[in-house]
C-alpha cells in the first residue's frame, strides 16, 4: 500500500486537527482544572475502546527489522478516523481512514487465523507491528462487528489495548502542556510588542515651531 509522505513539520491540516482536539480539552478549563481535564481525557479514551467512536491518532515507529510502533496520542474526533505515522527520523505520513481500515482488516485476518500477537499469550510486553498497533488503538472504529467483540473478550488483547491507551493518555498530557506553553509564549510576545509600540508613540517628539 502506497502512503503519501508529508513534511517533518506538521501540515496545516494536522495542526488544525490537533488544535481542535486540544482546544476542546482546554475549553472552559482554568489553571486549577488542568489535572481534571487530563484525567477526563484518559477516561474518555478508556470508555470508547470498544465503541465505534472515531479518533485522530499519532503513531510513532520505535524499531526496525522488524518494524515496531507505539501509539503516542489519541484524540476523539467528529470526523473520520485518521492517523499521523511518524518514523524514527521524525518524518511523517498521514494515513486516511481507508488506509487504516485496510491495515486493520489484514490484522483481523491474522486474528482469525490465530497468528496475531494481539491475542497470543505471553506477548503483552512485546512491541507491536503497525497493523497490531492500529487494532489495539481503534479496533471498534475500524472493523467493528464480530471481530471487535472477539478481541474485546480476549485477555491478551485487552492487555495490549490498555498499554496503548496508557501511552496515549501520557502523550495527550504532553501535547496539552506543549500547547499551553505555545499559547503562553505567543501571548507574551503579543503583549511585549504592544507595549513597545505604545512606548514609541509616547516618546515621539512633536514638530518644532518656526520662529
Q: Which three cell numbers stand for residue 161?
A: 489495548
Is residue 79 within 8 A of residue 54, CB to CB? The reply is: yes
CA atoms within 13 A on the CB side of 30: 1
Other residues' Cβ atoms within 10 Å of the Cβ of residue 116: 25
| Confidence class for position 11, pLDDT limits 50, 70, 90 | very low
Residue 134 in this model has a pLDDT that exceeds 50:
yes
pLDDT in the model for residue 70:
95
CA distances to 25, 75, 117, 159 from 29, rounded to whole Å, are 8, 17, 40, 32
Residue 200 in this model has a pLDDT that exceeds 80:
no
CA distance 151 to 107: 12
Q: In the β-sheet with 54-63, what is the strand arrangement from edge to edge?
A: 5-6, 92-95, 82-86, 54-63, 68-77
Residue 15 in this model has a pLDDT that exceeds 70:
no
Distance of CA 180 to the CA centre of its chain: 16
pLDDT in the model for residue 146:
78
CA distances to 55, 74, 75, 94, 208 from 48, rounded to whole Å, are 10, 11, 11, 23, 72
Q: Which three cell numbers stand for residue 206?
A: 512633536
pLDDT in the model for residue 210:
58
Other residues' Cβ atoms within 10 Å of the Cβ of residue 138: 27
CA neighbor of 103 nearest in space, from 121, 118, 125, 120: 118
The answer to which of 54-63, 126-135, 142-151 has the lowest mean pLDDT is 142-151
pLDDT in the model for residue 126:
84
Summarize the confidence of residues 26-31 as an average pLDDT.
44
Summarize the confidence of residues 148-153 as an average pLDDT.
81
pTM over 0.75, yes/no:
no
Other residues' Cβ atoms within 10 Å of the Cβ of residue 2: 5
pLDDT in the model for residue 46:
45
CA distances to 24, 40, 204, 207 from 210, rounded to whole Å, are 62, 71, 19, 9
Residue 82 DSSP code: E
pLDDT in the model for residue 172:
86
**Lookup result for grid cell 504532553:** 174
| Confidence class for position 206, pLDDT limits 50, 70, 90 | low
Residue 207 in this model has a pLDDT that exceeds 80:
no
Question: Percent of the chain beyond pLDDT 70?
Answer: 68
Summarize the confidence of residues 79-108 as an average pLDDT.
95
CA distance 62 to 80: 26
Amino acid at each position: 500500500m502506497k502512503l503519501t509522505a508529508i513534511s517533518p513539520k506538521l501540515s496545516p491540516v494536522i495542526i488544525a486537527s490537533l488544535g481542535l482536539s486540544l482546544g476542546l480539552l482546554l475549553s472552559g478549563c482554568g489553571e486549577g482544572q488542568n489535572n481534571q481535564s487530563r484525567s477526563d481525557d484518559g477516561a474518555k479514551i478508556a470508555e470508547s475502546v470498544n465503541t465505534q467512536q472515531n479518533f485522530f491518532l499519532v503513531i510513532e515507529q520505535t524499531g526496525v527489522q522488524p518494524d515496531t510502533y507505539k501509539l503516542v496520542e489519541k484524540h476523539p474526533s467528529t470526523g473520520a478516523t485518521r492517523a499521523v505515522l511518524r518514523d524514527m527520523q521524525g518524518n511523517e505520513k498521514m494515513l486516511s481512514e481507508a488506509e487504516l481500515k485496510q491495515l486493520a482488516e489484514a490484522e483481523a485476518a491474522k486474528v482469525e487465523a490465530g497468528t496475531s500477537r494481539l491475542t497470543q499469550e505471553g506477548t503483552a510486553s512485546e512491541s507491536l507491528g503497525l497493523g497490531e498497533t492500529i487494532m489495539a488503538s481503534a479496533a471498534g472504529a475500524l472493523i467493528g462487528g464480530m471481530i471487535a467483540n472477539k478481541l474485546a473478550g480476549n485477555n491478551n488483547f485487552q492487555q495490549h489495548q490498555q498499554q496503548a491507551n496508557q501511552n496515549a493518555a501520557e502523550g495527550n498530557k504532553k501535547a496539552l502542556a506543549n500547547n499551553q506553553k505555545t499559547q503562553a509564549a505567543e501571548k507574551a510576545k503579543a503583549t511585549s510588542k504592544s507595549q513597545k509600540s505604545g512606548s514609541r508613540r509616547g516618546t515621539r517628539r512633536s514638530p518644532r515651531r518656526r520662529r
